Amino acid sequence: MIKLSEATKVYAGGVHALSGVSLTIESGELVAIVGPSGSGKSTMLNVLGTLDRPTSGTVSIDGYDIARLSDRELSALRASRIGFVFQQFHLAAGMSALDNVADGLLYGGVPLAERRRRAEVALQRVGLGHRTHHKPHELSGGERQRVAIARAVMGDPPLLLADEPTGNLDTASGAGVMALLRELHAAGTTIVIITHDRELADGLPRQVRMRDGRVVGDSAHTPVPLADTAVT
């Protein structure tokens, strides 16, 4: 599903956000990419989500080399193969949960009635079939994150990228969201969670540790010493 080979990302001023990262994530995996602020996690998210291109090296998503695709082709790749879940829910305040989810297909040429039908199915899938007409301020934090997840998976993307998905939630709500992500993973979705939360990462089948733009540990190959996973 994901293959990086010596990928680098250099920003203005010579800042190396990624420095020669090589990483393979197979279809169907559930992986945490973990590290402190400044470790390169956010840049990794942008590259994996095709929101940014590498400066050098190669990045392949579901068999597509993103450096070889036009902006339009990258947009099509994101729309059909990648779902995004963020720490900030990014829900429109004046819209119902149903229409917030339906907007996930707004630019896909899908008629409104069909978008709403799919949105209702997606909300039922995340356990919110009874909250379709509630607006964000009428929902709890965990429910709002579930709406965001429903929007991300409405098109059944094979890859879901989650950036600190429990960061704004209390413990119980966060546990509920993680249970939902595990259910999606069990159904076949490849899920990559970007986080600084060591406890969350330790509970996943695989964790990739980053520091200073490099991968410094991968539990798929070697055990991850607890002392090395400490983050601030």
pLDDT tens digits, 52-88: 999 999 999 999 999 899 999 998 898 889 999 988 8
* Edge-to-edge strands, sheet with 206-211: 82-85, 159-163, 190-195, 30-34, 206-211, 214-218
Kindly state the tokens that stand for 80.
Answer: 């059909």
> Residue 112: what pLDDT?
87
Alpha helices in 49-193 (DSSP H): 71-81, 97-102, 112-125, 141-153, 171-186
User: Chain-wide mean pLDDT for the chain?
Assistant: 89
> Residue 76: what pLDDT?
87
47: part of which helix (H) or strand (E)? helix 41-48
Looking at residue 198, the DSSP 8-state letter turns out to be: H
> Residue 107: what pLDDT?
66
CATH class of 26-52+70-229: alpha beta
pLDDT tens digits, 191-231: 999 998 888 999 999 999 999 999 999 988 654 444 444 33
pLDDT tens digits, 129-179: 999 999 999 999 999 999 999 999 888 899 999 999 988 888 888 899 999
Amino acid at 210: M
- d(CA 90, CA 21) in angstroms, rounded, equals 30
pLDDT at position 125 over 50: yes
> Residue 70: what pLDDT?
92
Kindly state the tokens that stand for 229.
Answer: 């996973």
pLDDT tens digits, 78-116: 888 999 998 888 899 999 999 999 987 776 678 889 999
Kindly state the tokens that stand for 199.
Answer: 């406890």
Q: Where are the domains of the chain?
A: 26-52+70-229
- 50-72 burial, b for 16+ CB within 10 Å, e for fewer? bebbbeebebbbbebebeebeee
> Residue 232: what pLDDT?
34
